[in-house]
A = this chain, B = another copy of it.
Amino acid sequence: MPRPSRWNEIIEAAAEAFRTNGYAATSLEDIASAVGMWKGSLYHYIDSKEDLLFAVVRGPAEEILNQLRELSDTDLPPTEKIRRATRSHVQILNSNFVYASVYLQEIAGRRKLPEWTAMDREYLNLLESIVREGVDSGEFSAVTNPRVATLALIGSLNWLTHWYRPGGSLHADEIADQFCDLFLGGLITRKTKAPRSQTVTPLKTTKPRAKRTA
């Protein structure tokens, strides 16, 4: 029976523990016992506890940013860009749920390491640029500050880690579309319909996890 790479087991155990108890409240013994080894043996794979945190978090953080970069390079109409960016964000949150939750709880906000804040800022700026495109083309209303609108959307998306669970009754794509309908069309009833998206041509699909050889 070919056992999967031990490194993946360690990262998954670390991610699960970090998400439920938080990084600081998780001991290396928690992680070690979850994978069935002594805490000292973890140091055959890592140099410090923080290595585990960064390894957990790096994959989805880079993936979500890269997908938005690719999308920004297209010349789809802003409405469609917003819809695809939202779908991409939700899908990565869905398929990397534990890892992404750890990122949002432990990296975004607290630790001010320049590497991560630069990624956060670039993501925000790319999304805001899409909103600005829509305002400039007249497609979006100009009453709302583009940066505030962007931060509102990001907040809604990232708050998913507080209530969404993969495999629940609501599919990831449904939630993404609901968010889009809300942000694009608003709550209030209108006669002129907000354009709903048709069949989706996915930009790319990427796969769960990272690698490592000690």
Contacts and interface: CB of A to CB of B under 8 A. Distances in A.
Contacts of A155: 155-160, 162
B188 A138 contact: no
Nearest to A26: B24
A178 B110 contact: no
Interface string A4-34: 0000000000000000111011000000000
B144 A178 contact: yes
Given A182-B183, A186-B187, 8 more contacts: A22-B22, A24-B25, A139-B188, A148-B182, A155-B158, A158-B159, A185-B186, A190-B190
17 contacts: A22-B22, A24-B24, A24-B25, A105-B109, A105-B110, A140-B187, A141-B186, A144-B181, A148-B179, A152-B179, A155-B156, A155-B162, A184-B186, A185-B186, A186-B186, A186-B194, A190-B192
